Every structure is written in structure tokens, then in C-alpha cells.
Structure 1
Amino acid sequence: MVLEVYGHGGDLVTASARYGVAAGEWTDFSANINPLGPPPGLLEVLREALPDIVRYPDPGHRALVTLLAARLQVEEGALVVGNGAAENMALALLGLAPGKVGVVEPCFSEYRTLAEQFGARVLSVFGTEERAFRATPEEVEGLIRETDLAFIGQPNNPNGVQYGLDELRRFAAAGERYGTYVVIDEAFIDFIPEPERRTLLPELLDYPHLILVRSMTKFYAIPGLRLGYAIAHPETARRMRDKQVTWSVNALALRAGEFCLRADVSYERATLELVKEQREKLVGELTRLGCQTWPGEANFLLVRVPEPWTAETMQTALGRRGVLVRSCAMYPGLTKRDIRVAVKEEPACDKLLRELNAVLGDSLKEESC
């Protein structure tokens, strides 16, 4: 039975009801959130801001937009602040009204879900295992040619890999050639060290049909507040904002975003160091346990469990031990043996490996009996 009844990880309510583990006792690897938690001092700032809930939030998100524009070196009119990255994806679909939407499978399920909710026909191409589930540039370019708007994950969820910069330029140029909007989802790009990030942000003005979508909830560990933004040509950004529900971003989320953008750079450095170290450790230990992994660059890994295990049986076995992983069996293009695990702090990763080792060890004992 599918645990992800709402199509996403992090559903502790459903997991607790199914496995009998209290919500506060989970070690949750199913949601990809910064293992360090929010930047130091953020919770105190939010407590101080609680009296602001008696007033409406700024519908123009002006303080946050000013900070974002300065950090990203873009004009303020190019920004759309939203209730998470998902709202910005929805606003792109609403504002641009594509009849056909392209997705590269496997990918974040909201691309297809939102497109179908808003009446678009969805076309897809598939990445291959040999390319770490990236589609070929020719296939992506063909998808762009055949659609009005195409989503591309960078790094992609659930495999965590990036396309090269020249490939991204090729996709963006195809968007201009065919009049197709190319939405590059960079929700996890902050988890990649800057020299290794592949982004067209510095070249954004060269591609009027290009939209970059980013999340603040994941890197700054505030998913319960919901905060994200899009960067696009000012006219495209205006069309997106014109479809936005007034006050969709609450006052506490805006205050959190402003604080996070002013956070000490040591928080970002510590995050990147921790993620790199623990990701490499997980890859090595998971391989030793007979699992297959792909070269993810963000704060999560796509993992194929050894036979005869499936994503469902592994999720159940670990769930009963208080460890939650994300089944990827429902992702088009993946198999019933695929799961996704977040990269977390060392004690949590040690617990995952310990419980996984115990589960796999128990199955080997049963086979030998």
C-alpha cells in the first residue's frame, strides 16, 4: 500500500498511523530538508514577529524582493515570491496558459499534477540509468519543440543530478527558437557548492522564455512556512504575479526569508560541508550493503535496494523501526525497488545504516533457515 497518499515525502501523520510510531519519534529521510535546521536565531526572530499576525502581510513582498534582487543581481521586476516553489510553478502555468507541457521523467510529481489540474496535456521523455536518469539533449530539445512549456529539474528530483551548462544553454536556446517557456526547477541548487552549480542565472536576460524556480524552504529548513521564488524576464514575471492570490505568502514566512538572506555565511558553509561528507559516507555504506546508488549532487540520493526487497517492503521494515524513507516506485521511469533517502546529520545517517543493516541481515538469516 502506498504511504505517499499525497504524492510526497514527509507525511508523518500517515506514517505514524500506519506504523505506530509517534510523530516526534521519527528519523525522517523522506523529506529533503537541511539537516542543520533553520539558521541560528531564526526561531527567536519568529517569536518576536508573532504580534505581526494581527496585520496583513505585504502583498508586494517588497522587503524580501529587495534583498533577493541584491543577492541575485537581478532587477526587482524579474522576481516572483511565492508560497513555496510549487506556487511559482502553478503561477507559470496559470500566467502562460500552455496547452502542452513537457516533463523529463523521472521527476518531481507536481510538474505533471499541476499541468493536468490546469488543463494542459502532458508529454514526456525518459532519462536512462546509464545517464543517471537524465534524458539526452536531443530528447529534451525535441520535447521543447513539441510543447508550450517544459519543466527541467536542475538538480533533478529524485536522482539529484545536474545537466551541464552547455546543455542548459541548448535547452534555453530551443525555447527561444520554438517559442516555448523553459522552466528550470532549481529548488535544491543551494545544496551544491557554488563552483559546481550549473545555472543560467547570469545569462537570464539572454533568454526571455526562461524561468528559474527556487525554494527557500529546503535549504533554510522552513518547509512548514512555505517560501520560494521565480526569476524570469520582467514581462513573464508580471504575467505570473497577475495570477497570484493576494497575501498567499504570510508575514512570518516573509520575515523568515528576510532573516535567512541576512544569515551568516558560516551557516551555508557548514551545510555544504555536512551534506558532502554524509552523502559520500552514505554512498559508500549503501554500496557495501548491496544497494545501488546514482551520483546525486544535492542533499538526497536515489537508491535501488537489493532483491528480493522492494521499495514498499523496505519502507515498511524501516518504518516499523522509526526510520522513514521515500518510495520511488510510483515515479515513471523507475522500478519497484527504488527509494530516495535524504542526507542528514551523522547520528541520523548512522541510524539509517544500522537499521538497514539489521533489516537486510534479518532477511539473509531467514533465507538460510
Structure 2
Amino acid sequence: MDPESVARATRVPHGGTTDESVLDFSANTNSVRPAGVEDVYADALTASTRYPDDDYGDFRAAASDYVDCDADSVVPTAGGLEALRLAFEVTLTPGDSALVPEPSFSEYDREIRLQGADPVAVGHDEILDVDPEPHEVAVVCTPNNPTGELADPDRLRAFASRCRDADTVLVVDEAFLDFTDAPSLAGEPGVVVARSLTKMFGLPGIRAGFAVATGDLGDRLAVARRSWSLSTPAARVGAFCMRQTAFVEDTRTRVARERARIAESVSEQFDVSPSDAPYLLFDVGDRDVDSVVEAARERGVAIRDATTFPTLDSHVRVAVKRPEENDELLRALADV
């Protein structure tokens, strides 16, 4: 990390609220957790009087099955964002440049700048057509946050091939990919995949995730990883959750059904972006975004002001939750 760049950095806004008096649709996390996770956590807490096994063998094995890669290429991290930071730390130096999609997750820009490198913004729907050769790193988010669309798997693999030819490291953020049936790019040469476990399994406070990379790139990630990068509860809960295949399938089905229902219900009120993710982006048109957000909150629902994302100036984002919660969202939005 570049000290001079850190001195110039700032924090970036995110969704999520600690106000328990409102339903939180501003953070894209599952409302449901796998049965049995509380018992796993309790047992892990008892074991937390000792340092965790820094090899994380069981967690790596579960992750390798979850994304279909070799366990040796899995690098445990405290959430997907830690995986992204680790990827940028081992690939970027001051003066380098990195392609980033726009609008997309704001932390890409911040984390790249913390390394003293320069983010180069490209339209999120154009980045797979850009020449990666001038850049040390290229970033793709699939499904993209906040727009929600999945990158075409064939085009993404073709882009990965062009990145390899150009000696450009491709960082693929798959934080929401497990809400789709699209294959992971984990294990692809020259690619760092960043995964979050906290969205699908509804446990953002656990801070569990991992990176996947092979060859020299994987070796660098493994060496640079912080010791004891996962707490014992995070490692055990993460491994348990990744083995709950029926839960994942049920969640995908529910989210797809409810996402379509919400989109149809508000289609005359807002311009809704197509989405493959557990969230929807709305263009509120001539309405004042602050007023829309505040009106929803007065009705007991927190939604995300998406104008904090670059290029968006009239948008809000809402998560897709359980049917009864989504009913509350639709009631809150009915008259805004």
C-alpha cells in the first residue's frame, strides 16, 4: 500500500443500516440463513480460545467444491472485499493503471488508489470489449453491482484470454454469482476470483470470503495473506454454509421469482434495470432521490440511494428479500 495515497484517501458510502426499526433493503444480503448455522457458530465460539489453524483445510475443501477449483488455489479472506484488496496489493504499484467498470462497486476505485495506482473507468457494459494491454489489472463484476446484469460467460472467458495475452491480471468479483447458475471463473490462469459468503448466506457480520488464483499469482496471494485471516467462527460457519446445496438452490429460485414480481409491480412507477442479482436498480425519473429514500424510510423501509455510484443521478437500489418483506417494500414505494 502506498503511504502517500493513503493520506489522500477517503471512505466510500455503502448500503446497510444498524437501525433495527426498519426493514433493510439497502444491503443486498439474504434474509434467510441455513438451518443449523447457530449451532456451528456456538461450537466455533467455544473453540475460539485458541488461534485457528492457519491452513484452513476444511474451509478450503468446502470452497473448492463450491466453485469447482483446486483447494490449493483457495486463499481464505475476511470477506470478499479483503480478497479484492489482497488482489490489488500483489498486482499494483504506484503509477500502474487498472480498468474498472462504471457504475459499479465503489471500493474498486478506492482500493486501487490506495496502492498508488490509477483506476480507468469504462462503462460496465463495455469493459469486455476494451483492449486490456495498457493496464496492469482489469476488474469485472458479475453480476454487476448496482445494475445487476450477469456478464456473458463466453465473452468473459474470451476477455480473460485477451488479458493473459496482454499480461494483464483479471480480477473478477463474483460476490453475487452464487445467486445465478453461471459458472465461476475460479482456477482460470491469470485470473483472481473474489468471492463473498455473506450475501448468499445472510451473514455480513461474519466477514467470510476467499480469493482463488493459480500459478505464480496464486503463490503471491498465499504469501501476502494475513495470518489467521479468518476467525474460527467465520471459517467453520463458512465451510458449513458452502455445503448447504439445497439452501442455495432454494434461495436462487425464491430470489428469481420475487425479483420478477417486484419488477413487474413497480414497472409503471419506475424504470427498472434488468437484473440477474438479488437486487434491482430503479430510475426514479424526475422525482427527488432523497425524497424517495426518506418517504420509504418513514414507511419503515430503508432503500439505497444509488446516486453515490458514478454516472447515476436519479436512481435507487433495492434488495430482493422474502415475499412478506417484499410486500412491505411495495407498500412503502406505492405512493412515493
Question: Shared fold by TM > 0.5?
Answer: yes
Deviation by residue 1:175-232 (Cα, 9 ceiling, x = unmatched): 111100011111101111x2xx15434xx44xx2112111111101111011111111
The question of 1:10 aligning with 2:1 is answered no
Asked if structure 1 preserves the Cα contact closer than 8 Å seen for 2:320 and 2:326, the reply is yes
What are the residue-to-residue correspondences of 1:1-369 with 2, within 5 Å?
A: 6-12=12-18, 23-36=19-32, 38-98=33-93, 99-127=96-124, 134-135=125-126, 137-138=128-129, 141-142=130-131, 144-192=132-180, 194=181, 197=182, 199-201=184-186, 204-205=187-188, 208-263=189-244, 265-288=245-268, 290-307=269-286, 309-335=287-313, 337-358=314-335, 360=336
Q: Amino acid of the residue matched to residue 200 of structure 1?
A: L
Distance 2:255 2:204 in 1: 18
Give CA deviations for 1:112-143 in whole Å, capped at 9, x if unaligned. 1111112111111124xxxxxx12643xx22x
1:47 deviates by: 1.6
In structure 2, relative to structure 1, the CA distance for the partners of 1:136 and 1:260 (3 Å cut) is closer
What SS is found at the alignment partner of 1:145? Answer: coil
Give, in angstroms, the shift of residue 333 of structure 1: 2.0
User: Which amino acid counterpart does residue 115 of structure 1 have in structure 2?
Assistant: I
1:234 CA drift (Å): 3.4
Secondary structure of residue in 2 paired with 1:157: coil
CA shift, 1:316, in A, is: 1.5
SS at match of 1:152: strand
Question: Is the CA contact (8 Å cut-off) linking 2:133 and 2:163 kept in structure 1?
Answer: yes
| Bigger share in helix | 1
Q: Which amino acid is 1:159 matched to? A: T
Instruction: Compute the displacement of 1:237 (Å).
Output: 1.7
Deviation per residue, 1:37-84 (Å, 9 max, x gap): x20010122122221121111222221112222443422221111000
Secondary structure of 1:107 counterpart: coil
The runs of 5 or more residues in structure 1 that have no matched partner are 13-22, 128-133, 361-369
From the superposition, tell whether residues 136 and 113 of structure 1 become closer, same or farther in structure 2 (CA, over 3 Å): closer
Contact kept, 8 Å, 2:45 with 2:232, in 1: the verdict is no
Contact 1:151 1:185 in 2 (8 A): yes
* Larger gyration radius, structure 1 or structure 2: 1
Q: How many residues align?
A: 324
User: What per-residue deviation string (whole Å, max 9, x for no partner) do you get for residues 206-264 of structure 1?
Assistant: xx21121111111011110111111111321220122222122111000101211232x
Q: State the SS of the aligned residue for 1:242.
A: helix
Pairwise CA distance, 1:87: 0.5
3-state secondary structure, aligned to 1:24: coil
Please name the residue that 1:130 is paired with.
none
SS at structure 2 position matched to 1:351: helix
Deviations 1:129-186 (A, max 9, x none): xxxxx12643xx22x2221011101111001101212211221011111100011111
Contact 2:79 2:209 in 1 (8 A): yes
The alignment's C-alpha RMSD in Å is 1.6
Q: Is the 8 A contact 1:33 1:218 kept in 2?
A: yes
Structure-2 change in CA distance of 1:287 and 1:78 (3 Å) = same
| Structure 2 CA distance for aligned equivalents of residues 86 and 343 of structure 1 | 22
Question: Partners in 2 of 1:310 and 1:87 — Cα distance?
Answer: 35
SS of the residue corresponding to residue 273 of structure 1 reads helix
CA contact (8 A) 2:76 2:229 kept: no
Deviation (angstroms), 1:6: 4.6
Distance 2:60 2:234 in 1: 13
Structure 1 SS opposite 2:206: coil
1: CA distance, partners of 2:320 / 2:67: 26
TM-score norm. by structure 2 comes to: 0.92
Q: Which runs of 5+ in 2 are unaligned?
A: 1-10
In the alignment, is the contact (CA less than 8 A) between 2:149 and 2:274 conserved in 1? yes
Task: Using the TM superposition, give the Cα deviation of residue 100 of structure 1 relative to its aligned residue in structure 2, in angstroms.
Answer: 1.1
Note if contact 2:66-2:243 (Cα within 8 Å) is conserved in structure 1.
no
Amino acid paired to 1:104 = P
Check the 8 A contact 2:12/2:106 in 1, yes or no: no
Determine if contact 1:310/1:338 at 8 Å carries over to the other structure: no
C-alpha separation in 2, matches of 1:166 and 1:30: 31
Q: Is the 8 A contact 1:162 1:198 kept in 2?
A: no
After TM superposition, the score normalised by the length of structure 1 is 0.84
